[in-house]
Structure 1
Amino acid sequence: MSKETILVVDDEKDIVDLIEVYLSKEGYNVIKAFNGEEALNIINSNSVHLVILDTMMPKIDGIEVCRRMRVKKNIPIIILSAKATDMDKIIGLSTGADDYMVKPFNPLELTARVKAQLRRYIYLNNKENEEGDVISIGELKIHHKARKVMLYGENIKLTKTEYEILILMARNLNRVFTLEEIFKIVWKENYFEGNNTVMVHIARLREKIENNPKEPKIVKNVWGVGYKIEN
């Protein structure tokens, strides 16, 4: 039996309860929400693998919920809406949804689409992990073969030097690197006292990957010693 968790968001309780019945039969854990604000609170505090999302809801509409979820999460999102025009579908999919179903809907078809999205999501994640290509540090993903860095699903553009500093510490989690070590490894030159090159580049790196560069959660200071990334 599957144990993935699915968030179902709709202001019509009967629809949410119906979807829960079908998904629970397949072994999925179901979390229910009845407005956009509640959905965002749940997604920020729970491990969710897929979201089924209505568009017309109180407090925060589904399109805005989808947009905000996509900033931080790369999980599948299926929009389930009474809005049936081509433009409605285009808006939903361009906002970040992976699939779009129109009400009234067949619960068996929705269940099949849920399975298909989860198969794809889990397969791609497992494939990346098996290849050893991806280093994950919270919501930060480093695709080393492609030299690509993603944060909350968004591509982060780093300079060559910023990337090499990041990958050095990401490949050696919990190890503290001194300024001298980082300089010698990345610049391949001897370090001299008073050289603040490393600190400048780390400050720029933090501006790009930290939610609050003044209180870094990824690249951490070890006072009097150097820097590290923890697992």
Structure 2
Amino acid sequence: MTMQMQACAPEMSATILLVEDDRDIADMLAETLSQNGYTAVSAQSGAEMDRLLRRQAFDLVVLDVMLPGEDGFSICRRLRAEMRTPIIMLTAVATDVDRIVGLEFGADDYVTKPFNTRELLARIKSLLRRASYGSERPERPKTMSFAGWRIDPVSRTLLDDAGSQVFMTTAEFDLLVALCLNAGRVLTRDQLLALTHAGVAGPVERSVDVHISRIRQKIEPNPKEPSLIKTVRLGGYLFTPMVDAS
């Protein structure tokens, strides 16, 4: 199945896909998003979501974990294998384990039910801003190269030494760009959150570690013994390669 890639829409005219089987919650969210300038389209299952994705492009997906049939974790992993559109997961379970599982499967952020709609709106706005951030910063290098990898902050692509594109979530990409721009410098988790413009609506500090782990799985020669992104005890993270910017 070929899914629609992320649309290039301005932040406040974004089209958001809500995958939520609770009709009351879906209707409430759709109305709230509409009142705040977004276009919302709802699906009650993974199968219905797939049909919508074949017909239309979306700027962001809000995905419930507990769904009939295929659950949200499985859907998230499947979506992330084919697209880089930002994904926010809704979960009724407040444990760190369940939240981290969602991030490990490729979600960019998560919100725990019951949630404050203003918090969800803030997280949506933050992710949409971050997803379009590269094109809003012309002073950034067009491309950067390190250890055989090539990253383009404007087109938001990461290419390996063979020229093949590696899909990354919005959060992963922003973190890698921040590391590249600060190569050789130890960055704390708080600094990484600030550099990725997550602000108060961004992932909690613990989530940075999960995203870094996922980046390592994609770029490190040996993710179990990382050499490109080093963990600095009581400090944060250090990006070790030389970075060539153009």
TM-score by length of 1: 0.57
Determine which of 91, 94, 108 is the counterpart of 2:104: 94
Q: Which digits, 9 at most, give the CA deviation of each residue in 1:28-71, with x for residues without a partner?
A: 11111011121133234311111101011012111111011101
**Structure 1 24/105 Cα, relative in aligned 2: closer, same or farther at 3 Å?**
same
Does residue 41 of structure 1 match 2:51?
yes
Which fold has the larger relative contact order, with Cα–Cα distance below 8 Å and residues 6 or more apart in sequence? 2
User: Matches of residues 208-219 of structure 1 in structure 2 within 5 Å?
Assistant: none
Tell me, in whole angstroms, the C-alpha distance in 2 between the residues paired with 1:112 and 1:72: 26
Q: Does 1:61 align with 2:76?
A: no
**Counterpart check, 1:149 vs 2:179:** no
Please, which of 119, 123, 142 is the counterpart of residue 129 of structure 2?
Answer: 119
Query: Does 2:19 match 1:9?
Result: yes
| Gap regions ≥5 residues in structure 2 | 1-10, 144-151, 170-246
Q: CA deviation at 1:2?
A: 1.7
Alignment of 1:65-214 (within 5 A): 65-124=75-134, 126-127=136-137, 132-133=142-143, 134=152, 141=157, 143=159, 149-153=164-168
Q: More displaced, 37-46 or 14-23?
A: 37-46
1:183 maps to none
| AA of the residue aligned to 2:107 | A
> Structure 1 residues 142 and 100 mapped into 2: Cα distance closer, same or farther (>3 Å)?
closer
Secondary structure of the equivalent of 1:100? strand
Residue aligning to 2:30: 20
- Alignment coverage as a number of residue pairs: 151
Q: Is the 8 A contact 1:136 1:142 kept in 2?
A: no
Given the two structures, how large is their TM-score scaled by the length of structure 2? 0.54
Q: Distance in 1 between matches of 2:137 and 2:56?
A: 24
Identity, in percent, stands at 38
Alignment gaps of 5+ in structure 1: 155-231
| Root-mean-square deviation over aligned CA pairs | 3.1
In the alignment, the residues of structure 2 paired with residue 50 and residue 40 of structure 1 have an alpha-carbon distance, to the nearest angstrom, of 14
> Aligned with 2:84: secondary structure?
coil
Q: Which amino acid aligns with 2:83?
A: K
Could you tell me how far apart the structure 1 residues matched to 2:126 and 2:55 are?
Answer: 25
**Partner of 1:159 in structure 2?**
none
When Rg is computed on C-alpha atoms for both structures, the one with the higher figure is: 1
